[in-house]
Amino acid sequence: MRRRHSKNTLLFLIVIAVVALLGWYLIYALEGPIRASLLRLEAGNIASVDNLLRILRLVLLAILAYVSVRALNFLIFGLFRLRRGFDAPTLIQNVFSIVAFTLLFFLIFSFIFPEANLGALFTTSAIFGVILGLALQDTLGNFFAGISLQADRPFQVGDVVSVGDQKHTGVIEEISWRAIKIRTFQNHVVLINNSTAAKEPIEVCPRDNLNARLVFFNTLYTDSPAKTIHIVREAVREADNVSQKIAPIVRIRNLGDNSVDYELKYWLDDYAKYNDTDALVRQRIWYAFKRNGLTFAFPTRTLHIERQGRHPRERDGGAVVERLSAVDIFAPLSPEETAMLAGAAVRHVFAPGEIVIRAGEPGSSMFVVHHGRVSVQISDNGRPRTVATLKEGDFFGEMALFTGEPRTANVVAVEETEVLEIGHGAMKKVFDTNPDLVESLSFIMSERRAGLASQFDSGPSSEIESAGILSAIKRFFGIS
Ligand code: CMP
C-alpha cells in the first residue's frame, strides 16, 4: 500500500517536472513569437509583457523547486528509514520541505526580479504575519509544541504511549505538525494535539527498550511459596514474546485475607503485544497450577474439625513411620519402637536458604530429612563452606543431642525441606531398649567429626574418636 503510494507520488513529480521543463524550453525557444502576440494583446505595453514573461518563469522555476525539494525529501528520509528501520516524524519532514522551499523560492525570486525590494516585502509580510499569527494561534501553538516535542525526542513512531489522565494507550503511528496519532489496542485512532500532549503526563514504553509487565495471581495458604514461585517462573519463561534476556521474577506481594497474593514480573520482546502476552502468561499459570496441584484462592472460610483422641501428628503418621524405618540407624528398632518414635516426631517445613540449626547453639534434638535436601556448612574465614549435603532419609543434629555439646555446624535447607525433629526423651526410650544402637551411632558420629576435622587439617583418627564418643553418649544418657 505504502509502496504504491510512493510510486504514484514519484510518477506525479516526474510528470510535473517534465511539464515545467517543457514550458521553460518553450518560453526560451519561442520567446520572440510569444512576445509579439502578448504585445498585440497588451496594446504595445513592453513593461507589462516583460513582467508577464518573468512571472511565467517564476511559476515554472517554483514548480521545479517544489519537485526538487520533494525529491530531496524523498532521498534523505528514505535513507533515514533504511538505516533506522522506521519513518522520521512527519513534522520534521514537513519543516524540512517548508524551509527548503522558502529559501529556494526567495533565491529564484531575487534572480528573476533583481530590482525587487525584499526588505519592503518582509515588512509587509511581517504585518501580515501578525494578523495571520493571531488568526492561527492554536494551529501555530500545535506547530511549535510539536517542534519542542521533537527536539526533546521523548518518543518515536512505534513506541507504546499512555497519554494524560484519560490514559489513551496505544502505538504512535504518526507525529505531525498538528497532532500525535495513536492507534489504540482496540484499533481506534486517537489524535492528541501537540499542545495538549506537551502539557499532559505521558508514559512512554520505547520500542527498543526491555519493558516489563506485572501479572497478579494468588494461591491458597496451604500451597508452598517456594514451590509456587518455582513452578510459575518455569511455566512462563519460555512463553512467546517473553524476553529470554531477563528471567521472570515471581514474588509474594501480600498475605491477604483469603490468599497468598503474588506478582509475576516479566519482560517483553515486543511491548506492543502485551495484551496477548499477559493472556498467554495467565494461561500458562493456570495449566501449571493444574499439573502441580496448586490452587487459586477465592474468598473462603475453612472449618477445622479436630477429632477427639486423634493427635494431629498421627494424621499423616504412616508416611513418617515409613520414613523413620528407612533410616539406617533405626533399622534395628521393632515396628512398635519406630511407631513410638514417629509419634514423638515433630514436623517442620523450611524455605530454601533457611537455617535449620545454627553452629554454636545448644541443641537437644536430632532431625531426619523427610522431604527435600539440606547442606551442612562450616564457616571458612567468615564464608560458608559445604561439607556434606543430606537427602531424604538422612539424619543430622545427633552430635549435640548425644553429647550435650554445642552444634558443630550450620544446617541449611537447599530447597523447600520438611524435617522430622526427635527429642532427647524419645531417643532415651529407644536407647534403653536398644543399647547396641549407641555403638552404631557413635561410629557414624566419629566419621562425621573426622570429616569436619579434615576441613581444618587436624583432628584425631576415627577409631579413637569413636571410643571417646561412645563413652560420652553413655554418660550423657546414663547408660551403663
Ligand atoms: P550437630 O553438631 O548437633 O549439629 C550440626 C550437625 O551437622 C551435626 O550435629 C551433624 O549431624 C551434622 N554434620 C556435621 N558434620 C557432618 C559431616 N561431615 N557429614 C554429615 N553431617 C555432618
Which pLDDT value is given to residue 313? 46
CA dist 337 and 434 (Å) reads: 10
Q: Where are the alpha helices (DSSP H) in 223-310?
A: 225-236, 274-292
Between residues 421 and 92, which one has the greater pLDDT?
421
Please compute the mean of the pLDDT values over residues 206-229 and round it to a whole number: 94
Q: List the residue whose alpha carbon is closest to atom 16 of ligand 1.
A: 448
CA dist 105 and 119 (Å) reads: 15
* Phi, psi angle pair for 353, to nearest 5°: 90, -10
Report CA(72)–ligand 1 centroid distance (Å): 80
Between residues 52 and 6, which one has the greater pLDDT?
52
Please compute the mean of the pLDDT values over residues 126-148 and round it to a whole number: 70
Beta strands across the sheet bearing 346-350: 346-350, 417-423, 365-371, 395-396
Which pLDDT value is given to residue 247? 95
Closest ligand 1 atom, residue 407 Cα: 2
Percent of the chain with pLDDT over 70: 86
Tell me how crowded residue 74 is: count the other CB atoms within 10 A of its CB.
15
Which pLDDT value is given to residue 42? 64
Residue 189 has pLDDT above 90, yes or no: yes
C-beta 441 within 6 A of ligand 1: no
- Per residue in 229-243, pLDDT (tens digit) is 999 999 999 899 999
Which pLDDT value is given to residue 462? 46
- Per residue in 336-383, pLDDT (tens digit) is 999 999 999 999 998 889 899 999 999 999 999 999 999 999 998 889
Residue 39 has pLDDT above 60, yes or no: yes
Would you call 445 helix, strand, or coil by DSSP? Answer: helix
Confidence of residue 135 (pLDDT cuts 50, 70, 90): low
Please compute the mean of the pLDDT values over residues 1-17 and round it to a whole number: 73
Report CA(203)–ligand 1 centroid distance (Å): 56
C-beta 445 within 6 A of ligand 1: no
Q: DSSP letter string over 174-216? A: EE-SSEEEEEETTS-EEEEEHHHHHHS-EEEE-TTS-EEEEEE
Pick from 40-44, 198-202, 473-477 the range whose average pLDDT is largest: 198-202
Q: What is the DSSP letter of 242?
A: B
- Per residue in 56-97, pLDDT (tens digit) is 888 888 888 888 888 888 889 888 888 887 777 777 787 888
Which pLDDT value is given to residue 431? 85
Element (H, E) at 62: helix 46-84
C-beta 71 within 6 A of ligand 1: no
CA dist 173 and 158 (Å) reads: 6
CA dist 34 and 53 (Å) reads: 9
Percent of the chain with pLDDT over 90: 39
C-beta 388 within 6 A of ligand 1: yes
Q: Write down the mean pLDDT value for the chain.
A: 84
Would you call 268 helix, strand, or coil by DSSP? Answer: strand
C-beta 87 within 6 A of ligand 1: no
Report CA(364)–ligand 1 centroid distance (Å): 14
Which pLDDT value is given to residue 391? 96
Q: Lowest-confidence range among 142-151, 165-174, 296-305, 309-318? A: 309-318
Q: List the residue whose alpha carbon is closest to atom 9 of ligand 1.
A: 397
Report CA(226)–ligand 1 centroid distance (Å): 25
Report CA(388)–ligand 1 centroid distance (Å): 8
CA distances in angstroms from 232 to 260, 416, 452, listed in the order given: 14, 16, 39
Which pLDDT value is given to residue 459? 46
Which pLDDT value is given to residue 480? 66
C-beta 448 within 6 A of ligand 1: yes
Report CA(253)–ligand 1 centroid distance (Å): 36
Q: List the residue whose alpha carbon is closest to atom 22 of ligand 1.
A: 448
> pTM score, two decimals?
0.57
Closest ligand 1 atom, residue 410 Cα: 5
Which pLDDT value is given to residue 461? 47
Closest ligand 1 atom, residue 406 Cα: 2
Report CA(386)–ligand 1 centroid distance (Å): 11
Report CA(449)–ligand 1 centroid distance (Å): 8
Please compute the mean of the pLDDT values over residues 188-202 and round it to a whole number: 87
C-alpha cell at 442: 557413635
Confidence of residue 25 (pLDDT cuts 50, 70, 90): confident
The Cα angle at residue 142 between residues 138 and 148, in degrees rounded to 5:
140
Residue 463 has pLDDT above 50, yes or no: no
C-beta 409 within 6 A of ligand 1: yes
- Per residue in 305-324, pLDDT (tens digit) is 665 544 444 456 789 999 99
